[in-house]
Copies of this chain bind each other. A is one copy, B any other.
Amino acid sequence: MFAIGIDFGTNSARAIVVSCADGTAIGTGISDYHSGDHGVLTHPSDPHLARQNPADYIGSLSHAVTAALSQAEKTPGFSRADVIGIGVDTTGSTPLPVDARARPLSIDPQWEGHLAAQAWLWKDHTAADEALAITEIAKQHAPHYLAPIGGTYSSEWWWSKIWKCLKVAPDVFDAAASWVELADFVPAVLAGVSDPKDIVRCVCAAGHKAMYSDEWGGLPSKEFLARLDPKLAELRDRLYDRAFAPGMPAGNLSVEWARALGLKPGIVIAMGGFDAHYGAVGSGIAEGTLVKIIGTSTCDCAIASTNVGNVPGICGVVKGSIMPGVYGIEAGQSAVGDILNWATELTRATESTESTEEMHRRLSGEAAKLRPGQSGLLGLDWHNGNRTVLVDPKLTGLLVGLTLHTTLGEIYRALIEATAFGARAIIDRLREYGVPIERVVCCGGIAEKNDLFMQIYADVIGQPMLIAGSPQAPALGAAISAAVTAGVFDSWAAAQQAMTSVKAKRFVPDPAAHAVYDRLYAIYKSLHDEFGNVANANLGSVMKELLKIAAEAIDAPRQTS
């Protein structure tokens, strides 16, 4: 038996056909979005705007799955008739307005070119004022809405974006029969849903981004929404009453899509979910296992079988958001790979012919020659603000310990270390609130490609760093969801046991390096708390302590590893 997983990323969709026996991908298809700049619609006068053309999703869905199936057919024993279900993961929060027949509003020629009628991509930041207002109003009138999402509502999320649309394009708002997250939209398309009321909504998007909770009867009350705008209160009736955990079907494959893809009509369409959450499933998440999806930014996922309550600075804790019956916990760092990319681009000479990849390789090579602490540098990894645990976008990066001898390789290493300290701060916070973390599995390009990065993380965190077996963990997780939903497995654990793996290569902490990083982390924490405005540390000895650690690092016997 086989399942299909489809991952809708920021620039393209990727489909895989996987064996339910062992999770092997026997077919892969990738389809770039055609509109805008690599699939992103932008506006010259507003750098915060990032939209997508919903037609791209449907086009890429078809192309990617078709390509994956064609490749799968080269494997002996595979038949399209053996595909038992389809799972979908997407970016989010990426809401789009739909018409009365559950079609994207933008397919109507009237709205076709209107930016507000498109999908509002996760990284669209036009709704900053709305996010601030929602946070303020919730703090005053309904603080419980904010508790599971870390205390601060984001400009990237559902209500901020829809409210912004109402303000800047009331005609679009009025024309929308409903709004839907991309994660719920694609399954509804595959299932042939033709009424917004029939779209099955996942609690993953609802709980993390739309302030949904069964505890308070679903979405925020009409009374609360009316405080934002009466029209948002009216919209509530046209949205949904319940959202669901993965494991139940979002629908069954429509006759039209079955014909188009050459699959059996009626096979299960799994609940949609966010890429990070299904990536966690595909990386083997379990209680005690933290999955880190490391890319330009990082998303950290954990689960807990009992309610850990609200963990300050963690946005958020939502029952069923990753797997049914357990609390899904999501945290993250606003920039990780992006900080390293910034460091390379910052120093690119005009006439340089070196590729970004080559620069990363060269700087990693220089950085790898250094011992922990040797550079005397320490950084704060807040170049794009701090998501977890400070939940404050108005923070910036810092570097201390600079001398006239400081090299770029040293700075590059200090930046990796800074992100590793940020990662450790998240783990510390989770543990502090009773989330067990005994195992760390990483996925994403950096985890697979940058050994220095991974070793530093192991040494800083003091835990082995494992790498997910599949380089396509989100799509694999979506396929697992389809397999479970189709009844191929009795349990999620059984499905993960069969279909996920970790690579043999793992990064084990070096005790001597870990000891040095413990000292550096203590300094990082004092800077973190002082500049993050959560404590008044005394930083008068920071520079001397860093110089001392550096002097000791140079004198220390060279490690054998």
A402 near B406 (CB under 8 angstroms)? Answer: no
CA distance A351 to B547 in the complex (A): 32
A396 near B407 (CB under 8 angstroms)? Answer: no
Closest 3 CB pairs of A and B: A533-B540, A397-B402, A347-B347
CA distance A351 to B348 in the complex (A): 11
Question: For the complex, is A544 an interface residue (Cβ under 8 Å from B)?
Answer: yes
28 contacts across the A-B interface (CB closer than 8 A): A338-B404, A339-B404, A342-B406, A346-B406, A346-B408, A347-B347, A347-B349, A351-B351, A352-B352, A383-B402, A383-B404, A384-B403, A396-B401, A396-B402, A396-B543, A396-B546, A397-B401, A397-B402, A397-B406, A398-B398, A399-B402, A530-B538, A530-B539, A530-B540, A531-B539, A536-B538, A536-B540, A539-B539
Chain A 527-560 interface mask (CB, 8 Å, partner B; 1/0): 0001111101011111110110000000000000
Question: For the complex, is A235 an interface residue (Cβ under 8 Å from B)?
Answer: no
- Complex copy number for this chain: 2
Residue with the highest number of chain B CB atoms closer than 10 Å, among A352, A376, A402, A547: A402
Other-chain residue from B398, B541, B543 in contact with A399 (beta carbon distance below 8 A): B398
CA distance A485 to B406 in the complex (A): 47
CA distance A406 to B338 in the complex (A): 12
Would you give the shortest CB distance from A362 to chain B, in whole angstroms? 8
A404 near B335 (CB under 8 angstroms)? Answer: yes
Question: For the complex, is A400 an interface residue (Cβ under 8 Å from B)?
Answer: yes
Which residues of chain B are near A542, meaning CB under 8 Å? 531
CA distance A408 to B347 in the complex (A): 7
Question: For the complex, is A354 an interface residue (Cβ under 8 Å from B)?
Answer: yes
Which residues of chain B are near A403, meaning CB under 8 Å? 383-384, 396-397
Q: A347-B349, A398-B399 are in contact. List 11 more A-B contacts (CB 8 A).
A: A335-B404, A346-B347, A348-B349, A352-B352, A394-B543, A395-B544, A396-B402, A397-B400, A531-B542, A533-B541, A536-B536
Which residues of chain B are near A538, meaning CB under 8 Å? 530, 536
